[in-house]
Structure 1
Amino acid sequence: MAEGSNNTLKVAYQAFEYFSHGLATGEWNQFIDMLSDDFTFWFPVGPYHGLNVGKERAIAFFQYVSEAFSSGLFLTLDRVTSNQTTVVFEFRDEGLMWGEPYKNRVAVSFDVRSDRICGYREYFGSDGKSN
Protein backbone atom coordinates (compact mmCIF):
# COMPACT_ATOMS: atom_id res chain seq x y z
CA MET A 1 0.00 0.00 0.00
CA ALA A 2 1.34 3.43 -0.88
CA GLU A 3 2.28 5.91 1.85
CA GLY A 4 -0.55 8.24 0.84
CA SER A 5 -3.18 5.58 1.38
CA ASN A 6 -1.66 4.58 4.77
CA ASN A 7 -2.12 8.19 5.89
CA THR A 8 -5.58 8.31 4.33
CA LEU A 9 -6.64 5.20 6.26
CA LYS A 10 -5.10 6.44 9.52
CA VAL A 11 -6.87 9.82 9.30
CA ALA A 12 -10.18 8.27 8.19
CA TYR A 13 -10.19 5.65 10.97
CA GLN A 14 -9.52 8.36 13.56
CA ALA A 15 -12.34 10.47 12.09
CA PHE A 16 -14.68 7.45 12.10
CA GLU A 17 -13.88 6.82 15.76
CA TYR A 18 -14.80 10.44 16.56
CA PHE A 19 -17.88 10.20 14.30
CA SER A 20 -19.07 7.05 16.12
CA HIS A 21 -18.46 8.75 19.47
CA GLY A 22 -20.51 11.76 18.30
CA LEU A 23 -23.43 9.54 17.29
CA ALA A 24 -23.34 7.70 20.62
CA THR A 25 -22.90 10.73 22.89
CA GLY A 26 -23.78 13.93 21.00
CA GLU A 27 -20.18 15.16 21.55
CA TRP A 28 -18.90 16.20 18.11
CA ASN A 29 -15.95 18.50 18.93
CA GLN A 30 -13.20 15.98 18.11
CA PHE A 31 -14.83 15.14 14.78
CA ILE A 32 -15.46 18.80 13.91
CA ASP A 33 -11.80 19.57 14.74
CA MET A 34 -10.76 17.12 11.98
CA LEU A 35 -12.73 18.94 9.26
CA SER A 36 -10.97 21.14 6.73
CA ASP A 37 -11.96 24.80 6.46
CA ASP A 38 -13.49 24.11 3.01
CA PHE A 39 -15.38 20.99 4.20
CA THR A 40 -18.40 19.86 2.16
CA PHE A 41 -20.96 17.18 2.89
CA TRP A 42 -23.80 15.48 1.09
CA PHE A 43 -26.83 14.05 2.89
CA PRO A 44 -29.69 12.16 1.18
CA VAL A 45 -32.83 13.45 3.00
CA GLY A 46 -34.41 16.08 5.22
CA PRO A 47 -33.39 19.69 5.89
CA TYR A 48 -29.75 18.96 4.93
CA HIS A 49 -30.61 17.14 1.69
CA GLY A 50 -28.01 17.55 -1.04
CA LEU A 51 -24.70 19.39 -0.97
CA ASN A 52 -23.80 21.44 2.11
CA VAL A 53 -20.71 23.65 2.38
CA GLY A 54 -18.65 24.79 5.35
CA LYS A 55 -17.86 23.87 8.93
CA GLU A 56 -20.69 26.02 10.33
CA ARG A 57 -23.22 24.08 8.26
CA ALA A 58 -21.61 20.83 9.46
CA ILE A 59 -21.85 21.92 13.10
CA ALA A 60 -25.57 22.66 12.63
CA PHE A 61 -26.07 19.30 10.89
CA PHE A 62 -24.40 17.26 13.62
CA GLN A 63 -26.39 19.16 16.27
CA TYR A 64 -29.54 18.19 14.36
CA VAL A 65 -28.37 14.55 14.27
CA SER A 66 -27.80 14.66 18.05
CA GLU A 67 -31.32 15.98 18.57
CA ALA A 68 -32.81 13.24 16.37
CA PHE A 69 -30.86 10.55 18.24
CA SER A 70 -30.85 12.14 21.70
CA SER A 71 -30.32 8.81 23.48
CA GLY A 72 -27.46 7.87 21.16
CA LEU A 73 -27.01 5.86 17.97
CA PHE A 74 -24.79 2.79 18.17
CA LEU A 75 -22.83 1.36 15.24
CA THR A 76 -21.56 -2.05 14.15
CA LEU A 77 -18.87 -1.70 11.47
CA ASP A 78 -19.24 -4.20 8.61
CA ARG A 79 -16.75 -3.19 5.92
CA VAL A 80 -14.14 -0.59 5.01
CA THR A 81 -13.09 0.19 1.43
CA SER A 82 -10.47 2.76 0.46
CA ASN A 83 -8.32 4.30 -2.23
CA GLN A 84 -5.64 7.02 -2.11
CA THR A 85 -7.99 9.80 -0.96
CA THR A 86 -11.34 8.29 0.10
CA VAL A 87 -12.44 5.76 2.72
CA VAL A 88 -15.95 4.25 2.85
CA PHE A 89 -17.27 2.78 6.10
CA GLU A 90 -20.29 0.47 5.84
CA PHE A 91 -22.12 -0.15 9.10
CA ARG A 92 -25.37 -1.02 10.82
CA ASP A 93 -26.79 1.41 13.36
CA GLU A 94 -29.47 1.15 16.00
CA GLY A 95 -31.10 3.43 18.53
CA LEU A 96 -34.09 5.71 18.89
CA MET A 97 -34.86 8.44 16.34
CA TRP A 98 -37.18 11.13 17.75
CA GLY A 99 -38.07 8.53 20.42
CA GLU A 100 -39.03 5.75 17.97
CA PRO A 101 -37.05 2.50 17.38
CA TYR A 102 -34.55 2.92 14.54
CA LYS A 103 -32.27 0.51 12.65
CA ASN A 104 -30.48 1.12 9.39
CA ARG A 105 -27.64 0.11 7.11
CA VAL A 106 -25.43 3.05 6.22
CA ALA A 107 -22.34 3.89 4.20
CA VAL A 108 -20.34 7.03 4.92
CA SER A 109 -17.54 8.21 2.71
CA PHE A 110 -14.73 10.42 4.04
CA ASP A 111 -12.51 12.34 1.61
CA VAL A 112 -9.09 12.90 3.20
CA ARG A 113 -6.60 15.66 2.45
CA SER A 114 -3.43 15.69 4.60
CA ASP A 115 -4.67 15.18 8.17
CA ARG A 116 -8.19 16.55 7.60
CA ILE A 117 -11.55 15.35 6.35
CA CYS A 118 -12.51 17.61 3.44
CA GLY A 119 -15.64 15.80 2.31
CA TYR A 120 -18.34 13.52 3.69
CA ARG A 121 -21.17 11.68 1.94
CA GLU A 122 -23.82 9.49 3.56
CA TYR A 123 -26.07 6.83 2.04
CA PHE A 124 -28.73 4.69 3.78
CA GLY A 125 -30.14 1.28 2.96
CA SER A 126 -33.58 1.23 4.64
CA ASP A 127 -36.43 3.44 5.73
CA GLY A 128 -35.03 3.57 9.28
CA LYS A 129 -38.03 1.96 10.98
CA SER A 130 -37.59 -1.34 12.77
CA ASN A 131 -40.42 -3.82 12.79
Structure 2
Amino acid sequence: MKWQEFEEFVREVFNKHGYETKFRVVFKDSEGRGEIDVVAERFGLILAIDAKKYTEGWHRTSALKTQARKHVDRCKRFSELKGSEVIPIIVSFIDDSIFYHSGCIVVPFEKLNDFLLNIHAYLIDFNESEDR
Protein backbone atom coordinates (compact mmCIF):
# COMPACT_ATOMS: atom_id res chain seq x y z
CA MET A 1 0.00 0.00 0.00
CA LYS A 2 1.36 3.42 -0.98
CA TRP A 3 1.22 6.32 1.47
CA GLN A 4 -1.47 8.05 -0.63
CA GLU A 5 -3.66 4.94 -0.39
CA PHE A 6 -3.07 4.84 3.36
CA GLU A 7 -4.29 8.45 3.68
CA GLU A 8 -7.44 7.56 1.72
CA PHE A 9 -8.00 4.45 3.84
CA VAL A 10 -7.71 6.49 7.05
CA ARG A 11 -10.29 8.94 5.67
CA GLU A 12 -12.67 6.06 4.89
CA VAL A 13 -12.47 4.81 8.49
CA PHE A 14 -13.46 8.25 9.80
CA ASN A 15 -16.33 8.39 7.28
CA LYS A 16 -17.59 4.98 8.40
CA HIS A 17 -17.67 6.28 11.98
CA GLY A 18 -19.96 9.10 10.90
CA TYR A 19 -17.41 11.90 10.61
CA GLU A 20 -17.69 14.50 7.88
CA THR A 21 -14.26 14.61 6.27
CA LYS A 22 -12.25 16.88 4.06
CA PHE A 23 -9.24 15.41 2.31
CA ARG A 24 -5.82 17.01 1.85
CA VAL A 25 -6.79 20.39 3.24
CA VAL A 26 -4.36 23.12 2.16
CA PHE A 27 -4.27 26.46 3.97
CA LYS A 28 -2.13 29.61 3.93
CA ASP A 29 -1.28 32.00 6.72
CA SER A 30 1.50 34.43 7.61
CA GLU A 31 3.91 31.50 8.10
CA GLY A 32 3.20 30.11 4.64
CA ARG A 33 1.43 27.06 3.31
CA GLY A 34 0.23 24.14 5.42
CA GLU A 35 -1.51 20.87 4.63
CA ILE A 36 -3.53 18.44 6.72
CA ASP A 37 -4.23 14.97 5.32
CA VAL A 38 -7.76 14.64 6.73
CA VAL A 39 -9.97 17.04 8.68
CA ALA A 40 -12.81 15.14 10.37
CA GLU A 41 -15.76 16.70 12.22
CA ARG A 42 -18.34 15.08 14.51
CA PHE A 43 -19.73 15.59 18.03
CA GLY A 44 -18.57 19.22 17.86
CA LEU A 45 -14.98 18.00 17.56
CA ILE A 46 -12.61 18.98 14.77
CA LEU A 47 -9.85 16.42 14.31
CA ALA A 48 -6.82 17.13 12.13
CA ILE A 49 -5.29 13.84 11.05
CA ASP A 50 -1.81 13.30 9.68
CA ALA A 51 -1.46 9.76 8.27
CA LYS A 52 2.07 8.32 8.55
CA LYS A 53 3.00 5.11 6.77
CA TYR A 54 6.40 4.36 8.26
CA THR A 55 8.20 1.15 7.44
CA GLU A 56 9.91 -1.14 9.93
CA GLY A 57 13.30 0.43 9.24
CA TRP A 58 12.37 3.81 10.72
CA HIS A 59 13.18 4.75 14.28
CA ARG A 60 9.45 5.08 14.57
CA THR A 61 8.99 6.40 18.11
CA SER A 62 11.45 9.25 17.70
CA ALA A 63 10.20 9.95 14.16
CA LEU A 64 6.58 10.01 15.36
CA LYS A 65 7.47 12.34 18.25
CA THR A 66 9.20 14.73 15.85
CA GLN A 67 6.22 14.61 13.49
CA ALA A 68 3.83 15.10 16.44
CA ARG A 69 5.52 18.40 17.38
CA LYS A 70 5.36 19.58 13.76
CA HIS A 71 1.71 18.53 13.45
CA VAL A 72 0.77 20.39 16.66
CA ASP A 73 2.35 23.57 15.28
CA ARG A 74 0.52 23.14 11.96
CA CYS A 75 -2.78 22.53 13.80
CA LYS A 76 -2.34 25.67 15.93
CA ARG A 77 -2.01 27.67 12.73
CA PHE A 78 -5.06 25.95 11.22
CA SER A 79 -7.03 26.52 14.46
CA GLU A 80 -6.38 30.25 14.30
CA LEU A 81 -7.62 30.41 10.71
CA LYS A 82 -10.68 28.27 11.48
CA GLY A 83 -11.50 30.09 14.72
CA SER A 84 -12.08 26.75 16.49
CA GLU A 85 -10.00 24.31 18.49
CA VAL A 86 -8.51 21.57 16.34
CA ILE A 87 -7.30 18.30 17.88
CA PRO A 88 -4.04 17.03 16.34
CA ILE A 89 -3.94 13.29 15.65
CA ILE A 90 -1.36 11.16 13.87
CA VAL A 91 -2.48 7.77 12.58
CA SER A 92 0.54 5.52 12.08
CA PHE A 93 0.70 2.37 9.96
CA ILE A 94 2.94 0.47 12.37
CA ASP A 95 1.27 -1.22 15.32
CA ASP A 96 2.20 0.22 18.67
CA SER A 97 0.26 1.69 21.57
CA ILE A 98 -1.83 4.86 21.55
CA PHE A 99 0.18 7.65 23.13
CA TYR A 100 0.15 11.39 23.65
CA HIS A 101 3.12 13.61 22.86
CA SER A 102 3.47 17.39 22.91
CA GLY A 103 -0.28 17.91 22.47
CA CYS A 104 -0.75 15.30 19.73
CA ILE A 105 -2.48 11.93 20.00
CA VAL A 106 -0.65 9.17 18.12
CA VAL A 107 -2.94 6.29 17.15
CA PRO A 108 -1.73 3.11 15.43
CA PHE A 109 -4.03 2.24 12.53
CA GLU A 110 -4.79 -1.12 14.12
CA LYS A 111 -6.25 0.70 17.15
CA LEU A 112 -8.10 3.43 15.23
CA ASN A 113 -11.52 1.77 15.50
CA ASP A 114 -11.23 1.49 19.30
CA PHE A 115 -9.98 5.08 19.52
CA LEU A 116 -12.95 6.41 17.54
CA LEU A 117 -15.48 4.33 19.49
CA ASN A 118 -14.05 5.67 22.77
CA ILE A 119 -12.78 9.07 21.65
CA HIS A 120 -14.31 11.04 24.52
CA ALA A 121 -12.68 8.77 27.13
CA TYR A 122 -9.30 9.07 25.40
CA LEU A 123 -9.62 12.86 25.21
CA ILE A 124 -10.41 13.04 28.95
CA ASP A 125 -7.46 10.75 29.80
CA PHE A 126 -5.00 12.70 27.66
CA ASN A 127 -6.30 16.05 28.89
CA GLU A 128 -5.85 14.93 32.51
CA SER A 129 -2.32 13.68 31.84
CA GLU A 130 -1.47 17.02 30.21
CA ASP A 131 -2.70 18.89 33.31
CA ARG A 132 -0.36 16.94 35.63
Query: Scaled by the length of structure 1, what TM-score is found?
Result: 0.27
Identify the structure with the greater strand proportion: 1
Structure with bigger RCO (C-alpha 8 Å, 6+ apart): 1
TM-score normalised per structure 2: 0.26
Greater helix percent: which structure? 2
